[in-house]
Structure 1
Amino acid sequence: MEKTPDILCIGAVLWDIIGRSASHMRLGSDVPGRITRLPGGVAMNIAMTLGRFGMAPAVLCATGRDAEGDALLSEAETFGIITDYAYRSEDLPTDRYMAVEGANGLIAAIADAHSLEAAGAKILRPLEDGRLGTLDRPWSGPIALDGNLTVDLLHTIAHSPLFRAADLRVAPASPGKAERLLALVGHPGVTLYVNLEEAGLLCQCEFSDSSAAAMGLMQRGVTHVLVTDGGRAAADGLSGDIITHCPPSVLVTRVTGAGDTFMAAHIVSERAGMDRATSLARAAKAAATYVSGDTPL
């Protein structure tokens, strides 16, 4: 029997293969470290954090009907994630993401999300076939949307009646894919989560800080935006008003997934009825706790 979620996470659910070293690295570095394989992808990272905060997230994603896909969804369920609505492809492999991190941050990463892109609108079927909604009675709850989706699919979401009642929370998968989110600018139900670099790419300029970036995005038509800037102050811009909060200083031991943790903690805080300042502070603290190597709760 399919379970009923209270939030949907749409996008990449894949295996994260992460190499981490305590050494500073540069191009061509060959250093000792650890290599791990963990459930990942923007949608998965957000869903895992939402689950830790007590929500019941479901993932709308694409995985292969292969051993890696079976293992990935089984692992997701241990985090309290509902996988009943995942699209399982007979001919597409389960996606993967590979990154190398040093003491000086992310060195390089490659996202192999080709199966998600190839599946396209098939991952949205539960929103129209009655399982999670229909055209007449669309899903009216929160949705965490991943920028790994294709530009065409993001355009479809921006204009589809299936999403007209949804609270859309959107994050780019990476700076390289940030410009895809322009398809959603102007949608009244969108809250955008970006870092300083991604904000600059969306506005085609450089910003000195998160406040300036939030203002720039609101001037482009984004109603609500959250901008992070590593260990510097994060900003929340809503209908022209901006508030900021500086995260606590921590020793950084990992970076992949920090933005997803920030987004999930902010969603949970707002859904719990907390005000903007409290929600921003709680999200910044959760992200700082995450990068320090601890689990944010």
Structure 2
Amino acid sequence: MTSTPEILCIGSVLWDIIGRSSSHMRQGSDVPGRIIRVPGGVALNIAMTLRRQGMIPALLSAVGNDPAGQELLADCRRRGLITDHIYLSEDLPTDIYMAVEGANGLIAAIADAHSLEEAGDKILRPLTDGTLGSAGAPYGGFIALDGNLTEALLAQIAVDPVFQQADLRVAPASPGKATRLLPLVEAGNATLYVNLEEAGLLCQTEFPDAASAADGMVTRGAKRALVTDGGRASADGSAEGIITRQPPEVLVTRVTGAGDSFMAAHIVAEARGADREAALMAAQAAAAAHVSGETPYD
């Protein structure tokens, strides 16, 4: 596929292995359910949602040149995603994520993104070698960046002139990796999409609600912060002020990927000219459709 991308999605592109049960679960639970394997990773989840809503994304990531990687790339191309710029590794395996979900939400998850981390800045070469941009002519469009990159690489991106002209949108891979984004918060040149827990970790405090978390993120230095809090009100904070909105009430059937759907829909809405209120509404609607099962995996 050789179409010109409208947005670059940088980060994890891997296989999700998800076990899901309709039962409430706890440590040690052994219950019936379903186990599926689907394309995943924060960057890929965002890209798939962007494509479903009409944007053309290109992926910048690392994938192993193994059967799992070849199958994953073929699936991405079938979905209309540009894979031309992915770093294909001969010695690193394709990454994988495993999660267990019950009726009471995410029980546990393990993300094996070691290949992406070991590939390092090799995944960014198209932004420096003139393919998509260079130091003299930096890429100026939308970039969706995920926190599965190493702390050192994220710190490099925060100050790299190659990224200074882009509309940089950033999401943590998980609460456990949220503090990796501190350099991007302090650089003040990115919009961050976080949940309440991640905002607290980045600001080293606990917030009672999304509005106070968004305000705290902006005070800490973030250019802009979108904060979600499950079924409670979400917030959009910037120098223009804080706005909040209650998300739709839905029956939750899955949780993995909800934040990615929120972020992607928000980017699409703003790319089409939506104001802050309308963009927040669109993001919440997409996340609600995802967790309710209305949005299909394929």
If the TM-score is normalised by the length of the shorter chain, which range does it land in?
over 0.9
The residue number in structure 2 matching 1:295 is 295
CA distance in 2, matches of 1:169, 1:78: 25
Q: Equivalences for 1:2-21 in 2 at 5 Å?
A: 2-21=2-21
Give the aligned residue type for 2:25: M
The residue number in structure 2 matching 1:23 is 23
* Contact persistence 2:8–2:58 (CA under 8 A): yes
Give the aligned residue type for 1:71: E
The residue number in structure 1 matching 2:283 is 283
Q: List alignment gaps of at least 5 residues for structure 2.
A: none
- More divergent stretch after superposition (183-192 vs 154-163): 183-192
CA distance in 1, matches of 2:187, 2:48: 27
Determine whether 1:106 maps to 2:106. yes
- 2:133 counterpart SS class: coil
Q: Report the Cα offset of residue 271 of structure 1.
A: 0.5
Q: Equivalences for 1:52-201 in 2 at 5 Å?
A: 52-201=52-201
Alignment deviations for residues 1-57 of structure 1 (CA, whole Å, 9 cap, x no partner)? 743211000000000000000000000000000000000000000000000000000
Q: Report the Cα offset of residue 240 of structure 1.
A: 5.3
Q: Report the Cα offset of residue 189 of structure 1.
A: 2.9
The residue number in structure 2 matching 1:237 is 237
CA distance in 2, matches of 1:240, 1:227: 16
Give the aligned residue type for 1:135: A
Alignment deviations for residues 179-229 of structure 1 (CA, whole Å, 9 cap, x no partner)? 000011233430000000100111111111000100111110012100000
Q: List alignment gaps of at least 5 residues for structure 1.
A: none
Identity %: 68
* Contact persistence 2:154–2:184 (CA under 8 A): yes
Q: Report the Cα offset of residue 109 of structure 1.
A: 0.2
CA distance in 1, matches of 2:137, 2:94: 32
- 1:15 counterpart SS class: strand
CA distance in 2, matches of 1:184, 1:225: 12
CA distance in 1, matches of 2:268, 2:223: 19
Alignment deviations for residues 135-190 of structure 1 (CA, whole Å, 9 cap, x no partner)? 10010000000000001100111111111101100000000000000011233430
Give the aligned residue type for 2:86: A
The residue number in structure 2 matching 1:263 is 263
The residue number in structure 2 matching 1:218 is 218
Give the aligned residue type for 1:16: D
Q: TM-score under structure 1 normalisation? A: 0.98
CA distance in 1, matches of 2:163, 2:293: 36
Give the aligned residue type for 2:211: S
CA distance in 2, matches of 1:79, 1:202: 34
CA distance in 2, matches of 1:179, 1:78: 35
CA distance in 2, matches of 1:208, 1:89: 44
- 2:187 counterpart SS class: coil
Give the aligned residue type for 1:242: I
CA distance in 2, matches of 1:131, 1:225: 30
* Contact persistence 1:3–1:84 (CA under 8 A): no
- 1:185 counterpart SS class: helix
- 2:282 counterpart SS class: helix
CA distance in 2, matches of 1:181, 1:117: 15
Give the aligned residue type for 1:226: L
How large is the Cα RMSD of the aligned pairs? 1.0
* Contact persistence 2:145–2:171 (CA under 8 A): yes
Give the aligned residue type for 2:11: G
The runs of 4+ residues in structure 1 deviating greater than 3 Å are: none
* Contact persistence 1:215–1:240 (CA under 8 A): no
- 1:261 counterpart SS class: helix
